[in-house]
Structure 1
Amino acid sequence: MKILTVVLTLWVTGALAGREENHGEVSEAEVDFQEEQLVQEVLAEEGEEADDIQLVLGNDDDVEEGGDECSRISPKEVFHTELHPRLLKNMDEMSHYVEAVVERVEAAVEVLLPHVSHSPIGELNSQELFAELSDFMQGTIREAYELVRTAWRDLIRAHARGNLDREETLRALALIRDAQHQGDRYLNAALQELSVTIKAIVMNSIYVVHRSLNLPNGTEEHDVAKAIHKNLPKVAPNFLGSLMTKVLERGSDPSAYKKILTDPLRDLNDAVDKMYSTLETFIENGNDEDMAAYWREIVSLSHQRMRDEPLLEENFDLIYLNETYLTELTLSLMATW
């Protein structure tokens, strides 16, 4: 099951909150259903009375714009309209990339195995290795998502029960910021694991093909590379062969490759850093207005980002069918770690 399906199942509550902004009107029935779902979830976890919770939440899922007291002027609006969709897209893209790379390398190793009787790669239980790698990667993606989602949900629920004061909101934002940076560390560690594994397979595969050619001792490095390159279509006519070819052409020096950005949640981090610094300034200036003024500014900034950097729909299955693009991206991953 793809990570997008998993995370949508985990976090269906509130997902309609930003749909009017991006996809059109939300029906009254959908809004009512979302309100009921949120109420029942809060009841189960907090043990409060249904009537009391209904009074606390009010029209928390209402998507109509209003005056200063509109419920959309809140952290829920910022998260569900902008940051949660961006988070989902980042997780979904990474999940598709991992699946595309692991499936192709696993298939390629199966083709290469008959040629690797004298190499450690021949001793691999490839099905077990790649299954474990995929499970680890997808599990880490899910864990990072859960970490960020939970931190945001805590702020949203606390705000729904009654506006937090400035200091309490600042502490909640600090927790969200910490959770997102921790999520980045999880994802970077997983990408590093993937990079190291793929790099080991590629370099060992080059060595295996070299050994299989039985070239004379003292053969020049350039001639070795040419001989390996010529033989690759026979033993690795696939994604692994493309990676090996590029490494032979450019060498293994990381400076020959473009590196990837190592903060998958950087969009969310930038947004929360801005939210935090804005509230710090708000407090330092001794602003006596209530928190509604702060959230009006934050919601406005969020909507402006959505206009400046709209969240476009992309077909990652189709994107990663492009093996040239996938090869370059994987080489960048290998050069980064």
Structure 2
Amino acid sequence: MTIEHARACLELEADAIRALIPRINDQFAVAMQMILKCSGRVIVTGMGKSGLIGKKIAATLASTGTPAFFLHPAEGIHGDLGMVTASDIVLAISNSGETNEVISLLPTLKRIGCSIIAMTGRGQSTLAKNADAYIDVGVEKEACPLGLAPTASTTATLAMGDALAVALLSARNFTPEEFALYHPGGSLGRKLLLTVENVMHGAGDMPVVTPDKTVKEALFTITAQGLGAVLVVETLESMLLVGLLTDGDIRRSLEKGHDFLDKPVALLMTSNPRTVTKDKLAAHALSIMEKNKPRPITLLPVVDSNFRAIGIIHLTDLLRQGVV
């Protein structure tokens, strides 16, 4: 019986969300245009469970290009309404549309002169009638078998808030880079903000040899720099990249003998290796490494527009920065 109640809850809440689709209507469009034209912030308010949903909606709006914050209605009527200006929009959430703390805000909000969007389940409620736009989030019944705990109604409100945020995001042509700007502490932010230049080993610690050097000399350079490879350049003056020699290349050759150690690097190096430029995202460098055929690689030479070697990036650098 308990399992049946759980399944019935999800089915009812899913139905409540599906019922919202026809309500993406003219009033929704009005609310959306109000926010797009708003020169201030969207201030979300709601009491109890509606307030908790409101905090999430405010956070979603703020992270997707719409400046927003949550205002607790009880705190609002005790001074925090000073945060609201005439250029702001208040998104007021109340399933009944009659929540005392929310309704108590209306006279002052009207005097301030800000616009009001109501997100409520009752179009004839006090809140809806006093709003400039009304978004219908009503549900037929709560998923709670007692019909008391806000369940389907809060789920519907949250989903409608997501729909509003996504519609605004699309209308603003909000980019992944902008999203990353607001999430610098997260892994997504690191993937979208870090460039190759931020993590590469530059001129100061870039292992380099010329093609005429012996493999033994290149091996000493590889060991000294500790990056597992050496960049092969035409000359130290031109720094034109002509190849790459890795410790893996040397190990595989050792299986056939060691005579090659005294031969020129040019005979063993990989010519025309995969490369990346410093302006590319670090995540792009990782993609090149992972998709290399016939096997993934762990490092990439960094070149400029003239194919001059200017650095090297290793998989461990990306691991340390949280890109992987």
Same fold (TM over 0.5): no
Greater fraction of residues in strand: 2
Report the TM range for the smaller structure's normalisation: under 0.3
When the two structures are superposed, what TM-score results if normalisation uses the length of structure 1?
0.25
Q: Which has the higher contact order (CA 8 A, sep 6+)?
A: 1
Normalized per residue, which structure has more helix? 1
Larger Rg: 2
| TM-score of the pair, normalised by structure 2 | 0.26
